[in-house]
Structure 1
Amino acid sequence: MSSFLELKSFYKHINRAPESGESGVGHFNIFKVEELIVSRDRPATYSRRDFFKVSLVNGHSRIHYADQCIEVTGSALVFTNPMIPYHWERIDEQQSGYVCIFTEAFFSRFGNVKDYPVFQSADAAVINLRGEDILFYNGLFERMLAELDGDYAFKYDFLRTMLMELIHSAQKMAPAVGQRLSGSNAAERITALFAELLERQFPIELSNQVIRFNAPSAFARQLNIHVNHLNKALKETTGQTTSQLISERIAQEARILLKSTNWTINEIAWRLGFEEPNHFSSFFKNAAGMTPRQFRQAAAD
């Protein structure tokens, strides 16, 4: 399973202070690619982040994102979603460009950043650039970097506006076409991505925390594949269906919450994605052989 990179770990890796990008509402920062170069001999890992990322990459490289491999021979914009693992593989020694990172909270004034197509799937996440487009986006990143280093009192509001311009202008362009893995490798990658998405939702620790994905169609939509393709891959690698794997993990979390919290059964049902408490009770009884109330009582005795 791939690693999870938090903001503090990212800053430690590049030897920077996280506070340099604090905006008061969320987090935003920009770096030059040259400052973030790592050895190309380093093995590929599909790391998840707890932040969104927009990169302008100049140079020959490969972007491994979800179940696709997209080769970049010139310049490209790359939009990455923290829910899906990805890796940037450097081919040429000479690489340049910019990396912009920001948290969901930073973008919240403009709505839900996850709703934008460039952040929803690998099919829309990489956009090749040519000619004037390269000059435009290099200039836009340079403006954002200069603004970030300035002392304008409302600079983060201005940076949000420029980030919005970057996203919308990119979405008007045609995305790059990648190659999907095939055979057993594809099934293994899809299984790993599914497991990442499933586990990313747990444990349930906060009173307002609700799982986002609790149905096969929701996972398939996030991974940008047909639900039958997802089910076939999971059946091949695990011997279980998508529904079985989801149900097992939700039932496991339900048992933990019934044992370790004083939340009501209705509250637990809601946090596990059940709109109706009786649906949760039926689900749990089918999985555990007893109702949630009976299970909680037995655990207390």
Structure 2
Amino acid sequence: MQTISINDFLEKSNVSHMSGPGNFNMLRINEKDPCALQPIPYHRRSFYKINLLRGSYDIHFAEETYKVSKYAIFFANPLSPYNWIPGDGAHSGVYCIFNTDFFHHFGSLQAYSVFQQDGVKVFELQEEQFFRLDGIFSEMQAAYQSDDKHKYDLIRSKIYELLHFASKLDTQKGNVFQHGRASARLVKAFLDLLEEQFDVAINPNGIILKTTFDFAAALSVHPNYLNRVLKENMGSSTKQLIQERFLQQARILLRYSDLDISQIAHMLGFRELTHFSAFFRKHERISPSMCRKV
């Protein structure tokens, strides 16, 4: 299973779009758009997405399926693969997409349960709630299309408004069908443990766990079993998920910190700068120093 990037997603869309910081984009869909009429493939996306939906849908995650009958707001994060299948009738909506860079130094999206592995991701809405949220999206769209130099600050505030609104909605899962919970628990434990490796408060001396065997031992499971569960639920192997998270942290430190590249390499558990440079260049196709200049 492949991971879809924002650029891949936008290239395949049949609507015009603009690119902002953090690859922020916002699109409205109507009944004639392909994404409103066709099933969306089951993939992991490398970006966040907040989607206000109108119509009937089945939205599938690895651990559960949500059935939407009329109105809903849907939160997707880069760690959870999903797809949706439109039901009968008309479908429309609006959504925004962005990556982690869009909120760098502007709070932590991961603190909100809607973006956590075991959080409620889809909320069915009453008609009044739908139109209230549609109004927030309309304000975001007006700012997005304006020439205001501070427009992205306003958009970030509106996204937080959506998150706060969702946090007050009923978290009782209505039309939700659960999948294998043991696998879901293991996926969450792995992702939590992976995030801990980059928490300075927990690991002040840098990365401790770096390999599939390290994580399997910490989770008290066989490496092959961990790999199979992650592959089935997230579409990527344990090694790929670890590498992707390391690369994400490397990009953040290179672009937004004043640390020397050798210090960054040490923080990420590389004993030699050459090893870090070779790892980064292999996956990013540019050197760490070039990434810092981009």
- Which bin holds the TM-score, normalised by the shorter protein? 0.5 to 0.7
Q: 2:98 matched to 1:107?
A: no
Q: Which residue of 1 aligns with 2:6?
A: 7
Give TM-score scaled by structure 2 length.
0.62
Contact 1:3 1:47 survives alignment (8 Å): yes
- The correspondence for 2:179, drawn from 174, 181, 185, is 181
- The correspondence for 2:52, drawn from 39, 53, 56, is 56
1:131-188 CA-partner distances (Å, limit 9, x unpaired): 32112101111121122112222111111111111111111112352211249xx86x
Cα distance in 2 for residues equivalent to 1:17 and 1:41: 19
Q: Which residue of 1 aligns with 2:284?
A: none
Cα distance change of structure 1 residues 211 and 57 upon mapping to structure 2, 3 Å threshold: farther
Classify the secondary structure of the residue corresponding to 1:124: coil
Q: CA deviation at 1:267?
A: 8.0
Report the identity percentage: 27
Q: Which residue of 1 aligns with 2:35?
A: 38
Q: Which residue of 1 aligns with 2:268?
A: 271
Classify the secondary structure of the residue corresponding to 2:51: strand
Q: CA RMSD in A?
A: 4.4
Q: CA deviation at 1:97?
A: 1.2
Q: 2:123 matched to 1:123?
A: no
Runs of at least 5 residues in structure 1 that lack an aligned partner in the other structure: 202-209, 221-226, 239-244, 251-262, 278-301
What amino acid sits opposite 1:144 in the alignment? M
Cα distance change of structure 1 residues 151 and 267 upon mapping to structure 2, 3 Å threshold: closer
What amino acid sits opposite 1:114 in the alignment? Q
Cα distance change of structure 1 residues 212 and 76 upon mapping to structure 2, 3 Å threshold: farther
Q: CA deviation at 1:10?
A: 0.8
- The correspondence for 1:21, drawn from 19, 28, 33, is 19
Contact 1:140 1:162 survives alignment (8 Å): yes
Cα distance in 2 for residues equivalent to 1:168 and 1:28: 20
Give TM-score scaled by structure 1 length.
0.61
Contact 1:67 1:190 survives alignment (8 Å): no
Q: 2:159 matched to 1:163?
A: yes
Cα distance in 2 for residues equivalent to 1:143 and 1:237: 44
Cα distance change of structure 1 residues 179 and 15 upon mapping to structure 2, 3 Å threshold: same
Q: Which has the larger radius of gyration?
A: 1
Contact 2:37 2:91 survives alignment (8 Å): no
Classify the secondary structure of the residue corresponding to 2:35: coil
What amino acid sits opposite 1:11 in the alignment? L
Q: CA deviation at 1:36?
A: 4.7
What amino acid sits opposite 1:5 in the alignment? I
Contact 2:226 2:238 survives alignment (8 Å): no
Cα distance in 2 for residues equivalent to 1:6 and 1:213: 27
Cα distance change of structure 1 residues 100 and 5 upon mapping to structure 2, 3 Å threshold: same
Cα distance change of structure 1 residues 135 and 49 upon mapping to structure 2, 3 Å threshold: same
What amino acid sits opposite 2:225 in the alignment? L
Q: CA deviation at 1:37?
A: 3.1
Cα distance in 1 for residues equivalent to 2:191 and 2:41: 16
Moved more, 136-145 or 25-34: 25-34
Contact 2:68 2:124 survives alignment (8 Å): yes
Q: CA deviation at 1:12?
A: 0.7
1:22-65 CA-partner distances (Å, limit 9, x unpaired): 1xx422221113275338665x6321112100000111101112
Aligned residues: 228
Runs of at least 5 residues in structure 2 that lack an aligned partner in the other structure: 196-205, 230-236, 243-260, 272-294
Q: CA deviation at 1:103?
A: 1.5
Cα distance in 2 for residues equivalent to 1:110 and 1:267: 22
Contact 2:19 2:25 survives alignment (8 Å): yes
